Structure 1
Amino acid sequence: MEQIVKKFGIWAFLLLAFATGCAAGWAGRETALDHRVIDRLDAQAKRLEALAITQSEQYHAIEGLLNRNAQLAADGLTQTVRALDASVDRNNQALASATKLVTALPAQLARIEENADQLLKVNQAPDMPNLTTAMWQGRRIKTAPFTFELDVDLQHFGITGLPTKWQPEPEGDPESTLPYPWPRAWAIDRGQAFSPETVFYNLVGITNHLRTGERPEIYQRYVDFLLARTKQYLVPTRDGDLVTYRFSFGFYDHELHDGWVSAHGAASVIAASVYYYRQTHDQRFLDLATGLVRGLRALDGVESKWTSYIDSSQFLWFEEYPLEGTKKAHVLNGHITMTFALVDYCQVTKDEEACLLARAGITTIKRYVKSYRRPGQANHYDLYGDSLDYGPSRTINQQNDLYSLTGDPFFKTMAASFLSDMPYEPPR
């Protein structure tokens, strides 16, 4: 340095010092700049590394989701295939069943035609050469000139007396010691301590007991109670009375509401009252029966409560279940029971109207009774639906009674026909 100074002088020295300082300064700046760049690159690298990690996680999540969706799709496809297999199996079974049905169809059709021909023969209307009409309540009704055997007693129904262990009580409530108590289904389940059929059983049983010579006063309190209770269940019509039921009752698709009436119920009371009157001449019971006979004048379409119906062919029906609408029940037992009750009343009173109604009732039976036959099984209970009679032996007995009453061999033939159709238990 000394040599430079000496040789070039002080200015050369200063210039050299300045150059050296500049070089050192630029070297320092360059070093600082390099650190900042490295720091930025390092931060950028870290951000890229974090982004890479995030994208990797998202990729794995998407991959897992795709795997789950693929599994679900595979499971759904498997279930669909299984369901299709089961459906194919069912269709194959249905096809096999249909094939069997189609194969059997000709034989079934042949049997149906055979049964139809048989039913046509069975239900063919009988010859009624003496059929005529009569006016009643301003309407014409069909009737035939049946005559009644006055000594025929129809209304016992096997009741020969009172229950063997029963004894009349001289005091206390007669209702609690009736020979035949109200049935549980009525008194408890339906809340009605009255049944026309139970009145019938009690009065007929007491009457049969009186026939053996028992003193009437022993049973008088029971008889008085039965009369009073029956009157509580009468509803008036324009000309007479009907027996009512204070509970609802279902008949096929019909609902008979509280307060409905029935020809069968009235028939039970008429028959029992006439039966008791024959033995005792108690006018109260003949008056009771007369009111119920006059109640038959209540016709469908004329009064709101009715039990009599005249069909489009002018045949008179006594309806056990009076149904609104054009299709009626036509219960065979209910119609016949009222017809028998009218015969009893006609025999005792010789009342022309009652005798006419009895003959008209028998005429209707003769015209339609074949419609109740079902060869090979019990007869139909009614003509409304498909119910079979729950007491079919009764039908045979009633046809025999009609033969005994009228002497018409048609009814004897019908009794034999019903007997051939079904099992039979003779009356005891």
Structure 2
Amino acid sequence: MFIKNDINFYEFQGHIINREIFQINYNIAFDKFNNGYETDWVLCKKKIWDEGVVNNVPFDLHPQYINEYKQYFEPSNFYRNIVTICAVAKKDTVNSKKDYLDFLNKYIEYALKYSITKGKSRFVTYDFDLKRQGYMLTKRWVSAIGNGFVIRALIRVYLLKKNKELLDLIREYIRPFLSIQNSKKIVNGKWFTWIDDEGFIWFDEYPGDDGIPSLVLNGHIHAMHAIHCFLQILPECEERQYYLDLYQAAMTTMKFNSLKFRRYNKINRYSLREFNKSDYLPDRTVRQQKELYRVTNDSIFMKHAKSFENDINYFQNLNLK
């Protein structure tokens, strides 16, 4: 747990980090399609898997994963499918809940093939090389957003039928968030939680082979949502306090660093490492800042959202002239 040293600085696992206390609203579902994505999918129990390619799930993988990366698993696609399958399961009057749970368990077993364990921690892996602007991620790289999407998917299944084995698996995927790296001491192995020189905690989407984080805004916020979802299902205990403190620290990072992604009267930047790269989905930046406001009721996030929105509108209107 954090030990208070100064106004907003706390010691956590040997690090001094920034953390404010926010009043967290847990009555929020971050899933835009909370009741499942639009689909006419129905459960077919005859044939689920074939030659390593996922069949009979509502949504196909992005063609880039199949054709270029040669990886037949992608965490956000897994999450999207799980959300939808669980939603359909609740409404189905023909198939039993057991039929769906059997199907979901096989899907989870498949997902486990794309992970590695480090002690009691489990990392989602991306089994291909990825070249970014000026740095590389070598095959079997890991990502906070990858673990985040799998955590949120598993929580959906857990809410369908609670059991200790699944909760333990969720714990394996969330433990890596507690392994903190910094510029002064890079520990060999897998990591995606970073503390910068000002004591701010970041959940990194593309941790480089060189030990330098990408600091992607979208990746950090999606990973935060996973911890929020975990806190929703975890009873009061010492373990919960660890993740709550970490979540508060990650929220503090957003309060004081979100506007570093702003480019006045332009589309916001995607990453602080790829500093001149525009976000390819800037509207989500506005939406996500509003989500953080809903969680905390801190008006600073609405101010952030308005700043980003004004910049985007100015840029888009300028290009229409």
* Fold shared per TM-score above 0.5: yes
Larger Rg, first or second structure (1 or 2): 1
Cα pair distance change 1:260/1:392, threshold 3 Å: same
- Partner of 1:136 in structure 2? 12
The RMSD of aligned alpha carbons is: 2.2
Residue aligned with 2:91, SS: coil
Q: Is 1:259–2:140 an aligned residue pair?
A: yes
Cα pair distance change 1:249/1:334, threshold 3 Å: same
What are the superposed Cα offsets for residues 317-372 of structure 1, whole Å, 9 maximum, x if unpaired?
A: 11100024475310001111111111111121141111111111111111110111
Cα distance in 2, alignment partners of residues 410 and 387 from structure 1: 25
- Partner of 2:195 in structure 1? 310
For the 8 Å contact 2:89–2:97, the answer to whether it is kept is: yes
For the 8 Å contact 1:293–1:354, the answer to whether it is kept is: no
Which of 46, 50, 53 is residue 171 of structure 1 equivalent to?
Answer: 46
For the 8 Å contact 1:296–1:308, the answer to whether it is kept is: yes
Cα pair distance change 1:131/1:375, threshold 3 Å: farther
Cα pair distance change 1:172/1:239, threshold 3 Å: closer
Which of 369, 373, 381 is residue 262 of structure 2 equivalent to?
Answer: 373
Q: Which has the higher contact order (CA 8 A, sep 6+)?
A: 2
Cα distance in 2, alignment partners of residues 210 and 377 from structure 1: 44
- Partner of 1:186 in structure 2? 65
For the 8 Å contact 2:194–2:203, the answer to whether it is kept is: yes
Cα distance in 1, alignment partners of residues 67 and 209 from structure 2: 29
Paired letter, 2:84: G
- Partner of 2:298 in structure 1? 408
Residue aligned with 2:116, SS: strand
Report which of the two has the higher share of helix: 1
For the 8 Å contact 1:346–1:352, the answer to whether it is kept is: no
Deviation at 1:150, TM superposition (A): 1.8
Deviation at 1:314, TM superposition (A): 1.0
Cα distance in 2, alignment partners of residues 254 and 204 from structure 1: 34
- Partner of 2:204 in structure 1? 319
Residue aligned with 2:168, SS: helix
Q: Is 1:149–2:39 an aligned residue pair?
A: no
- Partner of 1:196 in structure 2? 75
For the 8 Å contact 1:346–1:355, the answer to whether it is kept is: yes
Deviation at 1:420, TM superposition (A): 1.1
Which of 213, 216, 219 is residue 328 of structure 1 equivalent to?
Answer: 213
Moved over 4 A (4+): 324-327
Structure 1, unaligned runs of 5 or more: 1-129
What are the superposed Cα offsets for residues 21-47 of structure 1, whole Å, 9 maximum, x if unpaired?
A: xxxxxxxxxxxxxxxxxxxxxxxxxxx
Paired letter, 1:289: I
Q: Is 1:398–2:288 an aligned residue pair?
A: yes
- Partner of 2:98 in structure 1? 217
Cα distance in 2, alignment partners of residues 162 and 314 from structure 1: 39
- Partner of 1:55 in structure 2? none
For the 8 Å contact 2:39–2:58, the answer to whether it is kept is: no
Residue aligned with 1:180, SS: coil
Cα distance in 1, alignment partners of residues 61 and 293 from structure 2: 33
Residue aligned with 1:261, SS: coil
Q: Is 1:288–2:169 an aligned residue pair?
A: yes
**TM-score, L = length of structure 1:** 0.65
Deviation at 1:183, TM superposition (A): 2.3
Cα pair distance change 1:159/1:217, threshold 3 Å: same
Cα pair distance change 1:228/1:263, threshold 3 Å: same
Structure 2, unaligned runs of 5 or more: 1-5, 317-321
Residue aligned with 2:69, SS: coil
Cα distance in 2, alignment partners of residues 353 and 284 from structure 1: 21
Question: Which has the larger displacement, 372-381 or 159-168?
Answer: 159-168
Deviation at 1:159, TM superposition (A): 5.4
- Partner of 1:242 in structure 2? 123
Cα pair distance change 1:381/1:326, threshold 3 Å: same
Residue aligned with 1:135, SS: strand
Residue aligned with 2:150, SS: helix
Cα pair distance change 1:299/1:238, threshold 3 Å: farther
Residue aligned with 2:180, SS: coil
For the 8 Å contact 1:238–1:298, the answer to whether it is kept is: no
Cα distance in 2, alignment partners of residues 163 and 170 from structure 1: 21
Residue aligned with 1:381, SS: coil
Cα pair distance change 1:326/1:248, threshold 3 Å: closer
Cα pair distance change 1:328/1:172, threshold 3 Å: closer
